[in-house]
Structure 1
């Protein structure tokens, strides 16, 4: 169950192979502790007036959206500190794309333009509904894989607030017996991000604030850095997680020459900065 683009294979994960793929991940994480994550979800239905954008308001608006909607996909790219991906003894390199069954496009809230965009990129919502993994089982396996509550793991996102929010909603429901809702305030949310994802969290969208001439979304930043994304499948969580890793590696090489340079910006989620 893999789709090839270049030398990287996307391991497409459904209900039928969820356990087997986590077995591979458990084998890999000791050697590949840098985890780049991307998610696909049904868009944003509540918008915030730009005049009121500040962390607490941004969080309240995100909570209003995430509380009412379902995750569609999670992409994970595992790498070592040099950017190498797991090969499992083959000539290919592997990333993961998890597909979930909870979202029903015929009855659940969504932003129509976001759904149309995902469909134009090949998303099959009927297939996800029929064959996707159960997200509660996914977070159980994620919790016991060694990826969470582990300060040896480095988590990398691009504009990652919604990525973390959808994960926190399900993780806190399953393991902290909370309602399947985000916590009421931003401070509690950021505490849960640190609790589940550890100390080493990097949001590349925040990092580029300190990189001259870099701005915009993932595509623009990647292009500005001269990265080759000819094989990228835009708006596919697996592919986007790989591009996020490549951007992180390149800005680290160009702008943050030591780990200490980067440490100044650890643990900050773009748009939710609390200092």
Structure 2
């Protein structure tokens, strides 16, 4: 494998590309070709390690919740419904943890427009620093509908012989379900798990399995370091993170077997942190959604305090204000008619009731809380200001 310092003698540092690392970048022009390859690979390699990259967390649910798990799910749901996936990484391994010859990992790069789509600036900065080029995503990114159609016929979903490997993956599977169903996530957590079990019958979340390893703590990179695993490719890109997830799973299995500890390979679907708190008959109690600032807005921020968000074009229309929470909270948009043109990936019209708030900028979320995968932080203070027109983030 090429060294990251091979050019140091000439004053240059060579950073291996994804292709040199065995990670295949997939864009709209080679999507069908790569799925043809995947359909062949999956016939022998039945373990699929998965990771996603997404534009952070921009909203939190407000209301009364029946349990901590209920709140966690509603937090996940409102953000997945609002936002668009940026990358998906899939790594294929056999029963012994060996990867296919040539490419072992496919990194799918989805269409994402910083001028039109909602995001958290801190998360975008993190992804840009990891090497993600958003201009290329805007021009050459994969259409989610086309991807979903090919994924449905790929032989890796809706089948019992595929074992999905992940790390703290509530959001990851939330975005995958949104892609596959072309719908918002169910309002009821039990319906979410029912759908999850249909599309992904066997899921193994390393964060949950770490409960059997007293000395393993922290995020994916920390766990990999403790297991003495070497990362391949750039951190905070979905392909590299998926590959490291698969490596960590099989290393953990090796360690646990070595120490005669039981490692259950036919476990039910468990997504950390929902585990024991999930109640099948629980009814959702969330009544509204709060953005982590009025500045959290598609392509910028609304032109004034009283706004109605329509479709993803960065414009706002006046609406009646209401104040159940603070003096600066405003109701936004009634639900749109199902199947209306406004129902696209960036539309907010499907939300039942949403409020902008100024006084919750202190709220912070870490990348490894509540299943956030590898997209870290958002404090609601770093969204671009604008006069109501869309503008690109730098």
User: TM-score band, normalised by the shorter chain?
Assistant: 0.7 to 0.9
Equivalent position of 1:37 in the other structure:
50
Equivalent position of 1:205 in the other structure:
207
Cα offset for 1:260? 6.8
Cα offset for 1:77? 0.2
Equivalent position of 1:98 in the other structure:
108
Cα offset for 1:264? 6.6
Aligned Cα RMSD in Å?
2.1
> Given that residues 256 and 262 in structure 1 are in contact (C-alpha distance below 8 angstroms), is that contact kept between their aligned partners in structure 2?
no
Equivalent position of 1:150 in the other structure:
159
Equivalent position of 2:18 in the other structure:
3
Structure 1 segment 62-81 matched on structure 2, within 5 A = 62-81=76-95
Structure 1 segment 7-156 matched on structure 2, within 5 A = 8-47=21-60, 54-87=68-101, 92-101=102-111, 103-156=112-165
Equivalent position of 1:176 in the other structure:
none
> Given that residues 207 and 265 in structure 1 are in contact (C-alpha distance below 8 angstroms), is that contact kept between their aligned partners in structure 2?
no
Q: Which runs of 5 or more residues in structure 1 are unaligned?
A: 174-179
In structure 1, C-alpha distance between the alignment counterparts of 2:261 and 2:105, rounded to whole Å: 25
> SS of the counterpart of 1:261?
coil
The one-character-per-residue Cα deviations of 1:137-188 (angstroms, maximum 9, x if unpaired) are: 1111111011111000000110110110001112122xxxxxx211001110
> SS of the counterpart of 1:86?
coil
> Given that residues 12 and 96 in structure 1 are in contact (C-alpha distance below 8 angstroms), is that contact kept between their aligned partners in structure 2?
yes
The one-character-per-residue Cα deviations of 1:35-91 (angstroms, maximum 9, x if unpaired) are: 000000001113589xx882111000011111100000100001101111112xxxx
* TM norm structure 1: 0.88
Higher helix share: 1
* TM norm structure 2: 0.62
> SS of the counterpart of 2:263?
helix
Q: Which runs of 5 or more residues in structure 2 are unaligned?
A: 1-16, 280-394
Cα offset for 1:4? 3.8
- Larger RCO of the pair (alpha carbons < 8 Å, separation 6+): 1
Find out whether 1:194 has 2:204 as its counterpart.
Answer: no
The one-character-per-residue Cα deviations of 1:214-264 (angstroms, maximum 9, x if unpaired) are: 1111011111111122x3310110110000001101111112579973147
Equivalent position of 1:177 in the other structure:
none
Equivalent position of 1:246 in the other structure:
247
- The number of aligned residues is 257
In structure 2, C-alpha distance between the alignment counterparts of 1:47 and 1:245, rounded to whole Å: 31
> SS of the counterpart of 1:55?
helix
In structure 2, C-alpha distance between the alignment counterparts of 1:232 and 1:70, rounded to whole Å: 23
